[in-house]
Structure 1
Amino acid sequence: MDHVIPMEEFHLGKVERKEAGESSRDNDQPVIVAGETHKLMTSTIQGSTSSKEEKFKKLKEAQAKVQLGTTPEIQEMGEPTIEGSSSSKEEKFKKLKEAQAKVQLGTTPEIQEMGEPTIEGSSSSKEEKFKKLKEAQVKVQLGTTLEIQEVLMLRDHKHYQKYCEPRVVSLGPIHHGKPKYQLTEVYKLMLADKFIGKTGRTDEELYGIIKDKIKGLRECYDEKVTQKYSDEDLAWMLFVDGCATLQFIDLVAHHENVEDFKIKNDQVAFVQQDLFLLENQLPYKLLDYLMKNIKEEENRKMEKNLWKSIQIFIDMHSMLADGTEFQNPQNAVHLLDLLWKRLLGLDGVKDESAQKKETGEKPRSPTVKRSKARTRRMINTPPNKNEENDERDLEWHSFRNVQELREVGIHLKHSKSRSLRDIEFTKKCNFYPGILWMPKIVVDDSTGPMFFNLIAYEMCPDFENDFGITSYIYFLDSLIDEQKDVIDLRNAGILHNLLGSDQEVADVFNEIGTDLVPNLDIYRDVRVQIQKYYKMQKKMKISPVIHTHFSSPWTVIAFVAAFFALGLTVVQTVYSILAYYKG
């Protein structure tokens, strides 16, 4: 039955539901709020199902919005369906059809409040607990497929929310359904419908392809983030998100006009950041399924064009030089994985762990260089005590920042390579000065979130890697303590500051460089060479004098001029003395 509630009491929270004669929250019971000038609003009770027709109707409405130029507005929405509750295929597609009707009638989508989430930690049977224990053992023995999961190791970091949570759009199941992302659901439908129209297939055909692959796609995620979704709900979510993502990337990569979708430039920038968040990733195989299932023969080239768009999009965020070769990497996990491989120069390299799994062999740990003393310890050979102490002294660097490197005559220069692994130290004339070569990077608003999520990705328990990004940020953070360090790196062409002040850049790297555990074998040779040079110059006491008195070319010119004038004075004096005695 329906209950009519005065608007004043509704807003003051004075209305309480009575247990007697009132159905539970799980029943499809609408609550009607009355008011003279207010619209009647029906709030669908959580757990209700939506038909297949309604979902596709919403998709068509999104298309109509693009054509008619209607801009979505933020309004109040009714309560959404509880995440994970099953909804019929017919009602889901019906929602898509309703979207088209709303556009034609001039109505706009509304943001609703979220229902109460399912309480975690519900009791499970004894058998289920032991089953999980056995499954964990099997995973260790067989090796697990890298899964998309929540950030774990950095979850207590004070900047976790700032760097890990999406700003405007949620993709995939982890943040799906949160109220702050409801408005962008409409834009995703618009973009998805545009993509479907280019494939030559109907929306139901393309959805059916994803539905048939849902078991494998579910396995791409950590079980706990998808367990509340039925196969149909998860398939629909991935279908819409995947189509929208490919269409958005294609638009941005080719600088097409996103204003046709009523998307502003600031929103475009935020969406690009959100596409590289670990908790916002879509399986690459999902994108691959959508790209390969193009029906019309004349549109077959679209697959190559879409991959080219992904390549351009990754390069836009990887700070690499134009024209560098980008191969279609095998065993790509998601977009963040593609970016990680690109930054470290690993794109196009077949994943060794995947090869080992195919043959049943155990994957090897990354190959690293070791010092002589460390190798002796590994094979139980008695070490030379002096040599081992020297090794330890060199591995523990005593320099703290760029300023101290400059004091001992180490210059900074940018290298031609853009791979973050390519950091070198050389000495001019094998003596002085020392030169530290580093790749160029661009620092802007996306730098912090990008590197933070790449570090979180390397920390995933099921991701076997050598912590390349973590080690790079650790090394760079060891050079940056204050604003002066950033200025020197910027003047050397290593940092291109698009963020703001130099102090802000220093703060970013100090924030994301906190609590990192790097692979010390990466850049070990560079650190050891710098430390040797540092200790040698400290003993000689020459470099500090040069740094203090000859840091500017004008001081050098002034010194040369003064020395030349002094020389002329001496020569003139000598000639005067000689002329006196001869006379």
Structure 2
Amino acid sequence: MSMQDQTLRSIELTYDEIEAEQLVIDSIANATLPSSSTKRIQKVPEMLIKETDDYKKYYVPKVVSIGPYHFGDKKLEFVEKLKPVFTMRLLSNNKETLRSLYKTLGEPQMVQELRSLYDENLIAKFCNKDFTKMMLLDSCFILYCVRFIFFRDSDDCEDLNIHQIVYLHQDLFLLENQIPFKVLIEVMKFVNPDSWADKFKSFISGNILASQKLKRTWLEKIPCIGNNQSSVGENKLESSNVPDHLLHLLHRTLTNDEKLPKNDHLKSEDDSRCTFRNVNELMDVGIHFKPSGTMSLAHIKFLQGWFWFTADVELPPISIDDSTKPMLLNLIAYEMCSRDAHAAWVTSYICLLDSLIDHPEDVKALRKAGVLENSLGSDKEVAKLFNEIGTGLVPNNLAYLEAKYHMQKHYKSRRNSLISELKHEYVKSPWAFFALLGALIALFLSAVQSYYTVWSPEGECDELCKLLKKNHHL
């Protein structure tokens, strides 16, 4: 019998022993959930699933199933068999720790609370024993990956190859692939690494959309894992600040938990209507883009320049690669299901970028400005990505209202429009520019000649001419 089979057998025997001591759990197997329970871990809304292939490509896990929604998928069996092994490694092969953890997660009140966070119809097939076992294995698997696998070279991990590790990152941030964060907190109490706060900070930082430089400065601002803890070593979190799950924690980090501003003086329908079509149109009227110093998608600022024609718009920088699209789509899906749907910052941010990007030239301009970091491929692919994601999305009209109001006002200014026309007519056409430059030089020289003809002071030559004329007449 192999070492892995022995470990699996040991786990199953431990579960059987615990089951005999947990008869009270079975008494609530058929308990009716309160009708007022709030489902915090939901399925992807149908309106986001344009095609079956889209659903499988962007919302279905490729390596590991976390939680009940994709449990039992034959394609995910390999990693499923690793979960007991990783669990015992995380718990240092201590069966007593495993027993205590199982009892904690299997308490009737805890089981009922955790089950209430999922769709009742989709988890009805799991008895409380199987549900508790799933929560235990999945939470230990996540923490083992965060503690050991994601921060080590692929050569050091014998169980998973580099491709599986890359997909693991993506799978842990799928909407339908989540377990309550409360379970992770309970497991952390039984495992005492140097600092879970630092581990989760680095883990979340590695998955935010910013460039590497900004990730380092943004690391300390990750909420709920470090800053809101009364004691990092004890892993204490205020219950009101505990995220629903990992995807919620990522969303909170990207938006900094910002609420929509009031902006009562800008709430008219005209204030939210933008007629500019892309980045280059705005640059033509003197609006330039630059990266902001924060990753929060809620912070987009319009800054009037030193000269009346120029202005700056600060956008949070974003790095685009192969994992960007599934991550954005799942964040958008989370916002559609969120209890706080009015603050749909990710959806609004994507809609704003979609309104700014029409062509590869717009991507190029934002890339040169340091707003976009393109690791995906050509600028055309990036433009296509935002145009596809933004199709059909409805932003919150109050998001970025003040910045968009000033951008539109600057864009519609008659003075700025006139300067834009002059730039198009002369500056962007070399021959027209040289012709204009030649005409201006000729006009300047003619003006100088006329001035000296009329107003030039008398010199020695003028005195000589007068003398010669006088003598000639004599």
The TM tier, using the shorter chain, reads 0.7 to 0.9
Paired residues of 1:188 and 1:240 also in contact (CA < 8 A): yes
Aligned equivalents of 1:198, 1:548: Cα separation in 2: 75
Q: In the alignment, what sits opposite 1:322?
A: 216
Aligned equivalents of 2:353, 2:49: Cα separation in 1: 23
**2:7 is matched with which residue: 12, 35, 60?**
60
1:326-354 superposed Cα distances (whole Å, 9 cap, x missing partner): 342522111111110100112xx9xxxxx
Q: Kindly state the Cα deviation for residue 155 of structure 1 after the two structures are TM-superposed.
A: 4.6
Q: In the alignment, what sits opposite 1:196?
A: 91
**2:382 is matched with which residue: 495, 501, 505?**
505
Distance 1:558 1:433, change over 3 A: farther
Q: In the alignment, what sits opposite 2:237?
A: none
1:55-114 superposed Cα distances (whole Å, 9 cap, x missing partner): x97471599xxxxxxxxxxxxxxxxxxxxxxx9943999xxxxxxxxxxxxxxxxxxxxx
TM-score, length-scaled by structure 1: 0.64
**1:166 is matched with which residue: 49, 52, 61?**
61
Paired residues of 2:266 and 2:401 also in contact (CA < 8 A): no
Q: In the alignment, what sits opposite 2:255?
A: 344
Are residues 1:149 and 2:60 paired? Answer: no
Q: Which amino acid aligns with 2:197?
A: W
Aligned equivalents of 2:343, 2:265: Cα separation in 1: 21
> What residue ranges of structure 2 are gaps of 5+ in the alignment?
20-29, 229-240, 466-474
Q: In the alignment, what sits opposite 1:523?
A: 400
Q: In the alignment, what sits opposite 1:219?
A: 116
* Structure 2 counterparts to residues 13-32 of structure 1, below 5 A: none
Aligned equivalents of 2:157, 2:266: Cα separation in 1: 64
Distance 1:547 1:343, change over 3 A: farther
Q: In the alignment, what sits opposite 1:331?
A: 242
Paired residues of 2:154 and 2:161 also in contact (CA < 8 A): no
Q: In the alignment, what sits opposite 1:494?
A: 371
Distance 1:203 1:563, change over 3 A: farther
Q: Which amino acid aligns with 1:147?
A: R
Aligned equivalents of 1:464, 1:575: Cα separation in 2: 70
Helix, strand or coil at the partner of 1:322:
helix
Aligned equivalents of 1:396, 1:59: Cα separation in 2: 65
Aligned equivalents of 2:5, 2:197: Cα separation in 1: 28
Size of the alignment, in residue pairs? 420
> What residue ranges of structure 1 are gaps of 5+ in the alignment?
1-53, 64-86, 94-127, 295-299, 350-365, 375-390
Q: Which amino acid aligns with 1:458?
A: E
Q: In the alignment, what sits opposite 2:181?
A: 284
Q: Which amino acid aligns with 2:104?
A: I
Q: In the alignment, what sits opposite 2:25?
A: none
Q: Which amino acid aligns with 2:41?
A: I
Moved more, 272-281 or 315-324: 315-324
Q: Which amino acid aligns with 1:533?
A: H
Q: Which amino acid aligns with 1:285?
A: K
TM-score, length-scaled by structure 2: 0.77
Aligned equivalents of 1:450, 1:420: Cα separation in 2: 14
Distance 1:544 1:259, change over 3 A: farther
Q: In the alignment, what sits opposite 1:186?
A: 81
Q: In the alignment, what sits opposite 2:172?
A: 275
Q: Which amino acid aligns with 2:40?
A: E
Q: Kindly state the Cα deviation for residue 563 of structure 1 after the two structures are TM-superposed.
A: 9.3
Paired residues of 2:149 and 2:157 also in contact (CA < 8 A): no
Paired residues of 2:181 and 2:244 also in contact (CA < 8 A): yes
Paired residues of 2:84 and 2:137 also in contact (CA < 8 A): yes
Aligned equivalents of 1:445, 1:334: Cα separation in 2: 23
Q: Kindly state the Cα deviation for residue 397 of structure 1 after the two structures are TM-superposed.
A: 1.1
1:376-427 superposed Cα distances (whole Å, 9 cap, x missing partner): xxxxxxxxxxxxxxx4334211111112212222211112222111111122
Q: Kindly state the Cα deviation for residue 581 of structure 1 after the two structures are TM-superposed.
A: 7.1
Are residues 1:545 and 2:422 paired? Answer: yes
**1:309 is matched with which residue: 193, 199, 213?**
199
Q: In the alignment, what sits opposite 1:241?
A: 138
Q: Which amino acid aligns with 1:408?
A: V
Q: In the alignment, what sits opposite 1:441?
A: 318
* Structure 2 counterparts to residues 456-471 of structure 1, below 5 A: 456-460=333-337, 462-471=339-348
Distance 1:62 1:343, change over 3 A: farther
* Structure 2 counterparts to residues 43-442 of structure 1, below 5 A: 58=5, 60=7, 89-90=15-16, 136=35, 139=36, 144-158=37-51, 159-197=54-92, 201-212=96-107, 213-257=110-154, 259-294=156-191, 300=192, 302=193, 305-318=195-208, 319=210, 320-324=214-218, 325=220, 326-327=222-223, 328=225, 330-346=241-257, 368-372=261-265, 391-429=268-306, 431-442=308-319
Aligned equivalents of 2:95, 2:84: Cα separation in 1: 17
Moved more, 207-216 or 166-175: 207-216
Q: Which amino acid aligns with 1:419?
A: S
Helix, strand or coil at the partner of 2:349:
helix
Helix, strand or coil at the partner of 1:236:
helix
Distance 1:441 1:199, change over 3 A: farther
Identical positions, percent = 33
* Bigger relative contact order (CA 8 A; separation at least 6): 2
Aligned equivalents of 1:315, 1:265: Cα separation in 2: 19
Helix, strand or coil at the partner of 1:317:
coil
Helix, strand or coil at the partner of 1:412:
strand
Q: Which amino acid aligns with 1:164?
A: Y
Aligned equivalents of 1:155, 1:241: Cα separation in 2: 27
Paired residues of 2:61 and 2:177 also in contact (CA < 8 A): yes
Q: Which amino acid aligns with 1:322?
A: R
Paired residues of 2:18 and 2:99 also in contact (CA < 8 A): no
